[in-house]
Amino acid sequence: MKTMMSKEEGLRSMKLRARWVAVVGALGLGIGTAWAGAPDVPAGATASASGPGAVSGSGAALVPSAPDTASAAAPPQSKTPPVSWEGAVPLEVARPSEMCKAVRLGEWARVTCSPPGFIMDIRLMAGSADGVLFREAKAEGGAHLIFPMREGDRREICVSVQTGSGYTVEEDLAVVVSEVWLPGEPAPTIAIAGNPR
Amino acid sequence: MACLSGAIVACLSGGLAGCSSGGSGAGAPAGTTQGAAAASASAAAQASANNPSPSRPGPSTPREGQAITRSAGGDALYVAQQDLSALHVLPLPLDASRPPLRVALPGRPSQIVVVDAERVLVTVRDPGLVLVMRPDAAAGLVETARIPVAADAFGIALTPDRARALVTSAWTHTVSAVDLAANKVVFSLDVPREPRGVVVSPDGKRAYVTHLTLPELTRMDDLNGAGRVTKVPFAVAPLRSREAAPEAATLAYTGVLSPDGARLFVPRRALSGDGKRPWAGQPVVDVLLTGDDSSLAQPPTGRLPGYTTKELEEARTFGTGRGPFADLTFGGGFPIASEAFIQPRAAVYRSSTRTLLVASEGTDAVVELDALAIEPGAHVLRRHPLRGRTWSPKAGLERALVIGRVDGSLYRIETEDGQGPLARDETGLLNNASSGILIGIERRKSPPAEMVIRQVMPDDSPGETMCGAPTGLALSVDERTAWVLCRTTLGVAEISLEPDKDLARAQRISPRVLKLEDDPLPAEAALGRRLYFNASDGTLSGGFACAGCHPEGRDDGHVWQELTDSQDEERNDPKSEPCATYLATPTLPFFFPFVGTNFVGTPMQYGYTRQTPMLAGLLAAKGPFGWKGRSPDLPSRVMRGSSLHGWNLPEQFCGASNMKARALALAAFARAGLFNPPRDERPLTAEEERGKAVFADSKTGCQTCHVPATGYTDRSVVPFAESPLVFEKSGPVKRYEPEKDRMFKTPSLLFVGGTAPYFHDGTAATLEELIDKNRDRMGKTSHLSADDKKALAAFLRTL
């Protein structure tokens, strides 16, 4: 039996129904779920990313910070992410965002993002998955993005939140974290776009 | 010289500092001498990489051409407005009491580049010229030399020593090198279709050329010798392209190099990219690493560790509450980013902030993107709206997303066409909700508690904008001010790049605009021009404009899938076309599982193939129009086309009064305001004469339908056999739906030489291939000798 609907309704319905495939799965994954093995947040280790550029956004000065050369000098760590972040230090982020804080422990970075709204999913869009972990950040009401910083990296991680208009559920990109350390460069360059709508 | 009305037509900020201080911004020096500028450019670039500082000025007088640029002394703007066939010289700081000087030109200008204090180069499209001009206090600019180049000269860039200029000629697919000491062309090289943007590396060893209709780049080496071209594959939105979708990209009008030359940024439209409107592709900025000509963005490798298959499966299917966040295997789609821009038309690199400014032709805005990121298009740092509306419901707000806390205090308002953020008192939305259509409210449980309201307002102000179709960008010496050429409103907008916190609210939402001239087009056609480039018109555009697929009235070289509603198709009414929509690629995983059951009555998985047709020079006839000739006249076709191209236009809107007025305006502009490609007016060669005879021969029968006297078409609808090439091209995967209705309107052959690929399905890459594989479906060509076929193709290229 044919469903009678306008072209607009039809196409939107197709799109939304398809989205629901993702949404249904994501609803149980958001903030507040149990997180086996999620690392605790060490007190005092969540210093905000800083730099002369302050925050991104419409009110921001856009001058970026210099790369965090300290991270390049960090001694090699284990190939697995740290279990504890005790002793982590603030990570200099070239283009920080108000939505995220970043710390470093050796070569490992942990970017903690708390975008407004319900996190639908986090995805590794580019780069190696080796060592990458996404974990809930209970205290911050967000998520930890954990990854190693190694020469050759071209990594991008996207955090999406739920949007919609009451009867629809859609997702929208809320945070994009870009980490680039091209061969020959002294240090990785991390750029975070918060709520790049 | 005509010096028409130049006036500050809008300055909503009244007595604000930005309105009175002009373009130099914050007391910075107005400019530097050219020699100093050239010398300081590389130093500034190096400093930018090592020690960014907000007070460091950026490089002066860029080596890449723009439709608007600063003079060597920084005391004037040069503006190339191609629709006026003139240059304008605007004294800086902009001042209504000092109107622009108009400099008439022998043809339509495209770009300007400043060589030094004494020389300014201007590309002219038809005839193909590079004009050498000298600044003059009284006249603005005075021509001192005229260098013929291949017709349709568009982009221009200087070598670092400013001794040579490279010039792209779009229609004639040529790149020429001009010796600026001798004022003569030293080499011209053939390149693929529609070369547009050109940049030269800081070491002067290579150049890159973008193409309007192709995903790949052209690299040029040996610039100081005879030149050499190499095709450079350039992945299209590699992180956001659908698997199995053919790589397709359009609208690469420009490329921008980082100051050290290590990265090439190319804003373009990824037709294979997923996004808010996956049927139309996704605007992106792809980044090429020039060290090895590889894409900066590389798809992920490996899987995320630590999750069991069972956990992932449970999470994916039901969301058990025990699983991790989704990983790259989850969902099957991509994070959906709002479009940062639509129809990128120009871009500049802002060295002091290491950002890109991109002119968004379709939304009348300039966006500032992070040049440090892998995907600058997903890293929007700031938007500079140029439309300058007052944003009240009465002014015709199309759609807005309003987010506020539950206590009612707004903290952000954004509009879906990228014109936000705005403040409450600029919209009046919550105070005037009854004047719109409230379509949804959502209260969220997660902190911070907030609500979302969407409203749709009727758009009753078509074409309203202060700066329509931004086409060129120029930065002040201190990079704190940007000037924008507003093509369809014939003005120059000035925007402050200072942090918002330092600006008054009116400055944030409205630019200063200086009008160049009164519009020479009749009012209806002038409105049509504004609509032609406008992707935000709620009635007409549906997210992308006519210019998005018909750039400058030409074609984008893309073959679309026309997804047809079989309910309409089964009616087989020859007087009306079935309800349909166009999709950019045949693989849309989000859509097609539902197509057969929800929208189209019978399964149609891939759609019919339809290549974007060219418009310029082909719309003079009264009618009929459309692939099947079912639209009796041009306005009817515009209305039908709007429904086809804008997915969100229900059928019932077609014919509505607000749509009809728009269609009439667009038709008027398409006939009066689009420019034909250049034609090489010369006697035919012997080979072309032979091809003409073959064309006229009754045995081939070409001109039976392609009647020369009526633009090489008789506009009749004739049967056309299924192309066997469809299946050859697509291989084992059938990507196109076989045509049920094999009747097609005879297309005009005017300008056919420049519109490859061929056939409605794009299965012939060249005219030679079209003739060779015609298989007597159009006239009779199988009996022709190889020389006859070659001659016929040569003749067709002259049409």
- Asked if residue B369 has pLDDT above 90, the reply is yes
Contact status, residue B218 vs residue B293, Cβ threshold 8 Å: no
The CA distance from B499 to A98, in Å, is 16
Q: Return the amino acid letter for A43.
A: A
Of B325-334, B630-639, B765-774, the one with minimum mean pLDDT is B325-334
C-alpha neighbours within 13 Å on the C-beta side of residue B210: 33
Distances (CA, A) of A96 to A74, A195, B370: 21, 12, 11
| B 381-440: CB under 8 A from A | 381-383, 401, 414, 420-421, 439-440
Is the per-residue pLDDT at B351 higher than 90? Answer: yes
- pLDDT digits 0-9 by tens, B37-66: 333 333 333 333 333 333 333 347 899 999
Interface touch B54/A37, C-beta < 8 Å:
no
For residue range B721-761, list pLDDT tens digits in order. 765 544 444 443 446 677 777 888 899 999 999 998 888 77
- Position B741 scores a pLDDT of 76
B337–A121 C-beta distance less than 8 A: no
Q: What is the predicted pLDDT for the residue at B243? A: 61
> What b/e readout covers A90-120, taking b as 16+ CB neighbours within 10 angstroms?
bbbbbbbbbbbbbbbbbbbbbbbbbbbbbbb
Residue B439's nearest CA partner among B452, B457, B456, B423 is B456
What is the rounded CA–CA span in Å between residue B706 and residue B714? 6
Mark yes or no for CB contact B380/A24 under 8 Å. no
Q: Which pLDDT score, from 0 to 100, does residue B81 have?
A: 94
Contact across the interface for A123 and B381, Cβ inside 8 Å: no
Model confidence band, residue A62 (pLDDT cutoffs 50, 70, 90): confident
Q: Which of B308, B324, B444, B317 is nearest to A136 (CA)?
A: B324
Q: What is the pLDDT of residues B210-228, one digit of tens each?
A: 999 999 999 999 999 999 9
pLDDT beyond 50 at B546: yes
CB pairs under 8 A between A and B: 303
DSSP string of B454-473? EEE-----TT--SS-SEEEE
* pLDDT given for residue B323 in this prediction: 35
Q: Output the pLDDT for position B254.
A: 97
Contact residues for B20 (Cβ-Cβ < 8 A; gap 6+):
none
Interface contact flag, A123 B335, Cβ < 8 Å:
yes
Which chain B residues are within 8 Å of A66, Cβ to Cβ? 50-52
Environment class of residue B12 by beta-carbon count within 10 Å: exposed (0-12), middle (13-18) or buried (19+)?
middle
Sign of CA dihedral B496, B497, B503, B504: positive
pLDDT above 70 as % of chain B: 68
In this complex, the residue of B239, B381, B500 whose CB is nearest that of residue A193 is B381
What the block records as the tokens of B424 is 């409450």
A149-163, B124-138, B687-701: which range is least confident on average? A149-163
How far, in Å, CA of A159 to CA of A169, rounded? 16
Using DSSP, state whether B111 is helix, strand or coil: strand
B contact residues 314-333, partner A, Cβ 8 Å cutoff: 315-328, 330-333
Tell if the CB–CB gap between B597 and A3 is shorter than 8 Å. Answer: yes
B278 pLDDT tier (thresholds 50, 70, 90): low
The model's confidence at residue B563, banded by pLDDT at 50, 70 and 90, is confident
Closest CA to B296 of B371, B360, B217, B368: B371
Asked whether residue B150 carries a pLDDT value surpassing 90, the answer given is yes
Instruction: Report the distance separating Cα B789 and Cα B797, nearest Å.
Output: 13
Task: Give mean pLDDT, residues B402-412.
Answer: 33
Per-residue model confidence as pLDDT tens digits over B68-126: 999 999 999 999 999 999 999 999 999 888 889 999 999 999 999 999 999 999 999 99
Helix (H, G, I), strand (E, B) or coil at B595: helix
- CB-count burial class (<10 Å; 0-12, 13-18, 19+) for B609: buried
Tell me the per-residue pLDDT of B295-320, one tens digit each, with 9 for 90 and over.
Answer: 999 887 776 554 444 544 444 443 33
**A95:B648 CB<8 A:** no
User: pLDDT tens-digit profile of B469-507?
Assistant: 999 999 999 999 999 999 999 999 999 998 766 666 555
Which of B307, B318, B325, B643 to mutate to probe the A interface, most A CBs <10 Å? Answer: B325
Beta strands in B686-748 (DSSP E): 717-719, 743-745
Q: Kindly tell me if the per-residue pLDDT of A142 is higher than 80.
A: yes
**Is pLDDT at B15 greater than 70 in this prediction?**
no
Kindly tell me if the per-residue pLDDT of B152 is higher than 80: yes
Residue B450 touches partner A, C-beta closer than 8 Å: yes
pLDDT at B453: 38
Strands B481-486 and A89-90: unpaired
The pair of three-digit structure tokens given for residue B248, joined into one six-digit string: 């397709």
Residue B523, pLDDT score: 94
| Interchain CB contact of B366 with A (< 8 Å) | no
A165 and B601 in contact by Cβ < 8 A? Answer: no
- How far apart are the two ends of chain A, measured CA to CA in Å? 40
Residue A22 has pLDDT above 50, yes or no: no
Question: What is the percentage of chain B residues whose pLDDT exceeds 90?
Answer: 49
Name the residue among A9, A123, A182 with its Cβ closest to that of B328: A123
- Reported as a pLDDT band with limits 50, 70 and 90, residue B659 is confident
Distance CA B795, CA B799 (A): 7
Q: What is the pLDDT of residue B34?
A: 31
| Identity of residue B687 | E
pLDDT of residue B777: 83
Three-state DSSP class for B596? helix
Whether residue B293 is predicted with pLDDT greater than 70 in this model: the reply is: yes
Touching A: B residues 617-646, CB under 8 Å? 643
Please report the beta strands in B444-532, taking only residues with DSSP state E, as ranges in sequence order.
Answer: 450-456, 470-475, 481-486, 491-496, 512-515
Cβ-contact B290, B258 below 8 angstroms: no
Q: Is the pLDDT of residue B22 over 60?
A: no
Question: pLDDT digit string (tens) for B429-482?
Answer: 332 222 222 333 333 333 333 333 333 344 456 787 889 999 999 999 999 999
